[in-house]
Structure 1
C-alpha cells in the first residue's frame, strides 16, 4: 500500500487537494471553487463556511479519484495569505472572510502616524497597507468579540475539531503583527493596531505539527497536520528557490515575486518559512494579475481567460495600447492604493485583439516592475500558477524581462511545496525541484524594443498614480 500526504492548497478562487507520494508523484487531485463577493466598492469577501466546505469537496474528489490504495501519512496545508477570518471558540464564523484584495481599511491605514509605519518596517520588513491582515483584524474585532486569524488558522481550527488555535510563522509574518526577527507576536504592534493577543493563534514553525484531524467528514481521525506554508511561500519552496539570485513568480488572482535573502531586511521582506532556521525573502505583491485577464475577458465579452489569450495571439503587438489594472490601486513596487485603472493608447484602428494583448502585457510588466527593484543579478525567473499554461503569457514575460523564464511542468507547485516540506519532516529525502522539468522561454525582443515597451508602460503607470513616486 502506498503512503501519501494529502496536500490542501486553499487559494483565492478555489481549493485544491493533491495526494502526493514520497517521490513527489501525484496520485490524485480534486478541486472545488470558492465564491467571492464585492458588496461595496473596494470590499472583497468570502463566506468562511463556504470556504471550509470547498476544502471538504476538494478532499472528497481527490480521495475518490485515486486508483491506488494508500495510507495517509499526514496533511500539508498551503493557504492564501493576508485574508482574515473571525470565529467563535465553538468554530462558528462571526463575519465574512475579508480578502487580501479588500481595501475597506485603506483610509484607516492612511491616517495612522508615520511612527507606526516605521515600527512595522523595523519589526516585520513590510509596510502599512490595507492588503495585510492587521487592519482587517481590527475591523472584524470592531464588529464582534472573536478569535481571529489568517486562513491557515481557520482551516487548522476546523481540521482539528475546533481544538487548536494555531498559525504558521510565514503566514503570521504577513499580518503586520509578527516580529520576524524575534519570531513572536510583537507587543508594540499589537498595541498599535489594537489587536489583543488573546484573540490571536499561537505561532508555530512551518514543520512543527499543528494537531491531528478530528471529526472531519471524509477523513479518519488522528491524521497529523505535519506542515503548513503560505501559498506563495510554498511555491518558492516547491520551485527550489533557496539561493540568492533565484526568483520565482506565482501567477494567480494577484502575483507574488520572491527571491531569497541571507537575512532580515527592513524593506519588502517576508519570512518565507521557519524550520531549523528562518528563511527570509524579498517579495513584491501585485494586486491584479490573473484578475486583470479575467476582467478584460469579461469586458470584451469573451467566455474565459483562455479565449482572451487566444484572441491576443492573433496580433503581433498591442499597437500602443496599455492597460494599467489598478482596480484596487497599485501594489509593489508603487504602493499607491489611490491609483485607478486606465486603458490608454487607443485609436480608430484599435481592435479587441489589441486590448487583449495589452492585458497580457500588463501581467508581464507588473512582474518586471518588481524584478527591476531586486538588488544584484537576477539569473532568471521560475514561474508557476495558472497563467503558466499560456505560451503567449510566458513568452511575453521573457521578452519584457530580457531573461529566460522557466515555467514549472505541473500546476500544483504550491501544493507540492507544502507536501515536500511534510515528507521531509516525516524523514523522507525529497529534492523534487531538482528533478522537475521546465518549459524554458528565451527572450526574443531586442533591447531597444524592450526598452520602448517598458518606457511606454512606465508613462501609463505614472499617469494613473495619485501618490508621488
Structure 2
C-alpha cells in the first residue's frame, strides 16, 4: 500500500467475498477475501442465507477499510458485482421472505423446457439471453405454479446484489447490466422486457428500479457503521459479473477474449453494439458506456472435476487432476461428453447428465477424468465458434478462475482454442473490475469505451501442436455425440 485515494471493488462470489483496493492511479493495492460459511460439502449451497452473505461482505469490507486506514488511504467509494443470477422474495420492508435461490436450485428445469417449447427463441431474440433453469424468469414462473400463496404475498423480487444495495443504501435498485445479463431486459430499449415479465407473472412495480451501472448512491448511517466506512460514502451500483470480469482480467482490446472458470464457465468478448445471438449457446447483454458483452457458457471445469472426484469415492480433486495431467492427449481412446452447455444448471442437480464413450474395463480414473476435461475444452471451442460472424476473430484469451489452479485446464483450453492463453493467477479479476467501475462512477475514468488497459500479472500458456491437432480432428465427432446424448435425454 502506498499513499493516495482508493476505492473498494466488491465481488459477491459463490463461495468467497473478494474486495479489491484500487488506487486513483489504477494500481491494485491490496486484495481481501472472506469465504462464505458452508452447510454442505457442495461448492455452492442449494440455498443461501442473504443475511449471512451481508455479514461476510461486511467483514471483508471492514478488513479492507482497516488496511486503508492504517496506510492513510482515504476510501472514496465502493462498487459491487455478482456473477451468478439469483432470486430473492422481499416483503414491503425489503426483508427476505425466501432463501436466496441461485443456479444450483434446479426446480425450474421442467418449467424452462415448457416455456421454451411454447415460445421457442422469442425471449432469446428479445433480451439477447437464452432462458435457462438459472434464469430469474424461469424461477418466478415455477413459483407462480407451485407456490401461489407465497407468490401472491411478495412485495418485491430482486437478486442478491439488489438486496445488498438496499441494505447498504436504503434504495431498492438494480443496474441494467446485471438485469440484462439475467435475461429480462429488452436489448433494444434497455427497459424491462414485458414478454419476460408476463412469463414470470410479475409486474414492474414488484421489481427494483433500473439504473445505470455508473449510478451513485450513498451509504446509510447504519451501513457505514457496519462496514467501517464514513457515513455517506458513495456506492457505485456497478455492472454484471461478466462485464466486471472482462475489464478486470484485462480483455478490453479487440480480438482479446475473457475466459472465466469458476462457479460458472464463460467465454466473453467485448462488443460496441448489441449482437443478436444466432445460437442457444450465446447471450449478449449490455455493459456500460455503449459497450456490450457477448458470452458463451459451457460446462464448468471445476464442477466436472468435482463430479469425477465424488464418483471415485471422494478422492482429492487436485490429486485426481494431477493424475489426469499425466495421461496423453486422447485419454486412451475415451471421449468425454459433459453436461450440454445450453442445459447447464449444476452438476449437483439430479437432472445433470454426462457420458464417457469408448469406456473399457482397463480404463482408470485418470483416463476418465482426462476424457471429461477434454470434453469441456472441446465444448469451449464450439462455444467460441457460436459467438457469431459479427465478432472479431479471437487471437488471445485472458483467463481466470478457481479451476485454472490446475495446469491441466490451461493446457487443454489453449489447445482447444489454438490461441495463446494468459492465465491470471488469482480470482481477483471481477473485484478489480468492480473497483474500476467505482472509479468510472466517480469520474476518474471518463468512459469505458476508451478501454482502460489495466491487467493483472499472468503466465502465458501456448497451445501444444499435438493437442491442438487432436481437438481439431475430434471436434465434429464430439459435437455429434453430444447431440445424441441430448436426444437420449429427451426420449427418456
Tell me the TM-score range normalised by the shorter chain.
Answer: 0.7 to 0.9
Quick one: distance in 2 between partners of 1:187 and 1:328?
A: 27
Q: Does 1:177 align with 2:198?
A: no
Note the 1:2-401 alignment, pairs <5 A.
Answer: 2-22=4-24, 23-35=26-38, 44-64=46-66, 68-112=71-115, 116-140=119-143, 142=148, 143-144=150-151, 145-146=153-154, 147-160=156-169, 163-216=170-223, 217-220=226-229, 221-267=231-277, 268-275=282-289, 277=290, 279-301=291-313, 304-317=316-329, 318-326=331-339, 330-331=343-344, 340-376=353-389, 377-401=393-417
Quick one: distance in 1 between partners of 2:369 and 2:294?
A: 31
Preserved contact between residue 60 and residue 218 of structure 1 (Cα < 8 Å): yes
> In the alignment, what sits opposite 2:453?
433
Point out which structure has higher relative CO (alpha carbons under 8 A, 6+ apart): 2
| Aligned residue pairs, count | 458
Preserved contact between residue 410 and residue 461 of structure 2 (Cα < 8 Å): yes
Quick one: distance in 2 between partners of 1:4 and 1:233?
A: 21
Quick one: distance in 2 between partners of 1:346 and 1:302?
A: 21
Provide the TM-score with structure 1 as the length reference.
0.87
Quick one: distance in 2 between partners of 1:70 and 1:36?
A: 37
Provide the TM-score with structure 2 as the length reference.
0.83
Pick the structure with more helix per residue.
2
Relative to 1, partners in 2 of residues 1:83 and 1:362: Cα closer, same or farther, differing over 3 Å?
farther
- Per the TM alignment, residue 9 of structure 1 is displaced from its structure 2 partner at its CA by 0.6
Relative to 1, partners in 2 of residues 1:63 and 1:113: Cα closer, same or farther, differing over 3 Å?
closer
Unmatched tracts of structure 1, length 5 or more: none
1:417 alignment partner, one of 403, 427, 433: 433
Preserved contact between residue 271 and residue 280 of structure 1 (Cα < 8 Å): yes
RMSD: 3.0
Relative to 1, partners in 2 of residues 1:25 and 1:140: Cα closer, same or farther, differing over 3 Å?
same
Preserved contact between residue 383 and residue 408 of structure 1 (Cα < 8 Å): yes
Quick one: distance in 1 between partners of 2:143 and 2:40?
A: 17
Quick one: distance in 2 between partners of 1:91 and 1:307?
A: 45
- Per the TM alignment, residue 118 of structure 1 is displaced from its structure 2 partner at its CA by 4.4
> In the alignment, what sits opposite 1:445?
465
The range that moved more, 340-349 or 71-80, is 340-349
SS across alignment from 1:229 = coil
- Per the TM alignment, residue 229 of structure 1 is displaced from its structure 2 partner at its CA by 1.8
Unmatched tracts of structure 2, length 5 or more: none
